[in-house]
Amino acid sequence: MKTYRLAPSLLSADFTELGSQIDLLKSLGVRALHCDIMDGDFVPSISFGMPVLKSIRKRTDLYLDAHLMVTEPDRYIDAFVEAGADGITVHAEACRHLDRTVQHIKACGKKAAVALNPATSLVAVEDILPELDMVLIMSVNPGFGGQSYIPYCTDKIRRLRALADQKHPELSIQVDGGVNRKTLAEVLAAGADDIVAGSAVFGGNIAENVAFFRDAFRQAEAKEKA
């Protein structure tokens, strides 16, 4: 049975209240934080890097999921490991030698994941799937928060789950982009178990928003047991 996880995207947090919001999330049962690292090259935006992640690490023992939306991410893996990342996600589109980069992450003792942009085929990870802890399906084009979910990504999640069931049943499938109260049930039904949410968590009442995700996870677990 899947273990569902919510990974709030700190990109949508209030950075003037970041520490207290992280503490609140932990008190609400959140186990992971999604850290969107953007370089202004692979994606249009620039977000934050190693110093901020290192400060977050000092504040909390929650799992830090470093999503590197950067060109040639292999250059930065050691630095993000040193900063305190627990898992590192790289984009297949940004890696010249994807297997080498994945093995670099694993050699550092960290969880290795590969992200695929909406238009990138699952073929990009099919051969390397058994080496991965997680695949991240981007359900928006990366670079900005608050975008709408791209509908065709649901079938992509479903096909990845079927592929993983054949090659690597323990693979976690993360989905990032436009997952909210309207789209969550669809994403979970397709086979995702790890949900990144930014504005859907930090917009409005954080406690109520987290409770919504946790209730949806319980319902999905109940369906699996039935």
pLDDT digits (tens, 9 = 90+) for 4-30: 999 999 999 999 999 999 999 999 999
Q: What is the pLDDT of residues 182-216, one digit of tens each?
A: 999 999 999 999 999 999 999 999 999 999 999 99
Annotated binding site for substrate: 9, 67, 143-146, 176-178, 198-199
Is 74 an annotated catalytic residue?
no
Q: What is the pLDDT of residues 115-134, one digit of tens each?
A: 999 999 999 999 999 999 99
Residue 62 has pLDDT above 70, yes or no: yes
Q: What is the pLDDT of residue 185?
A: 96
Place of tokens 């099919």: 126
Q: What is the largest CA-CA distance in the chain?
A: 47
Percentage of the chain modeled with pLDDT above 70: 99
Q: What's the CATH number where 112 sits? A: 3.20.20.70
Q: How many domains does the chain have?
A: 1
Which residues share a beta bridge with 89?
A: 67, 113
Residue 95, phi then psi, degrees to nearest 5: -105, 125
| Torsion, CA 44, CA 50, CA 51, CA 56, rounded to 10 | 100
Q: Which domain holds residue 151?
A: 5-225
Residue 225 has pLDDT above 90, yes or no: no
Q: How far apart, in Å, are the Cα atoms of 105 and each of 57, 86, 129, 164?
A: 18, 10, 15, 21
Contacts of 166 (CB under 8 A, 6+ apart): none
Is 176 an annotated catalytic residue?
yes
Catalytic residue among 39, 133, 176, 193: 176
How far apart (Å, rounded) are the C-alpha atoms in residues 3 and 172? 9
Catalytic residue among 36, 39, 74, 133: 36
Look over the chain and give the mean of its residue pLDDT values, rounded to a whole number. Answer: 96
CB atoms < 10 A from the CB of 58, how many?
8
pLDDT bin (cut points 50, 70, 90) of residue 1 is low
Closest residue by Cα to residue 125 from 149, 89, 73, 179: 89
CB atoms < 10 A from the CB of 54, how many?
15
